[in-house]
Structure formats: structure tokens, C-alpha cells
Amino acid sequence: MSSIDMNQRIVISEYLGESQNDSGFDAPNWDDTYYLCWSAFKQISGKEFISAKANNSENIVTFTVRYCNKTKVLLVPGATKQYKVIYKEKDYDILFCSDYKNLHQWIDIKAEVKG
């Protein structure tokens, strides 16, 4: 795994809570400057399906990033709901994170594109 090609720039964004927008509805606030890093990008699966008379798609991807203090918080159970990944101006919900072989060198972030 030492020859991994980390050539894709991503942002790991942290959830800060909610505040009311101009219409009076609660809107989520994200810190899009939490962590900017290089990653290796890999498409895992993609499928399209029809549900309730609407076309839907599901794209699962993996981002591999270096293990550090900013990324190791993703390994805490439940933390995946407090963070998201921004890649090429698209938001990705984090589904699962794992420490590659428990070596504390790489973290694999399995994510799904929002929408």
C-alpha cells in the first residue's frame, strides 16, 4: 500500500449544528475548511433504479487518505454522521471508515454521493 497514487484533492467537512435560514427553517451548518487533503479515489459500485416513478442512482466510492489527528476522528463509532466529503464540488455522505490493516497509516472512507 506504500505506492498508493494520492492525486485527488478532497475536503472533509465537519457538521456544526443547525441554524434558521431566511425562511425560518432549520438548515445544517458545515465547516468546509475542517480538513483539505490528498486522497486516492476509487469507484466501488454504481447502479440506477426506478422507485416511486422516479429515476434514482447510487454511487459508492472509496477515498483513501493518510491517517492523522484530523482523520482518525472518523474511526470513532457514530462519527461518520458528523462529517462529509466534498469531491469535485459534490457532497458525499460517509458510510463507513476503516483503518487499513490497523497500521495507522491509511484510512479508507467509503462514501455515497448525495442526491
Residue 48 lies in a domain: yes
Range of the domain at 106: 11-113
Query: Per the domain annotation, does 66 fall within a domain?
Result: yes
Domain-embedded: residue 5 = no
- Total number of domains in the chain: 1
Could you tell me the pTM of the whole model?
0.83
Q: Is residue 59 part of a domain?
A: yes
pLDDT tens per residue across all 115 residues of the chain: 556 789 999 999 999 999 988 888 999 999 999 999 999 999 886 555 455 555 566 789 999 999 999 999 999 999 999 999 999 999 999 999 999 889 999 999 999 988 6
Position 4 in a domain: no
For residue 69, the surrounding DSSP H or E stretch is helix 69-72
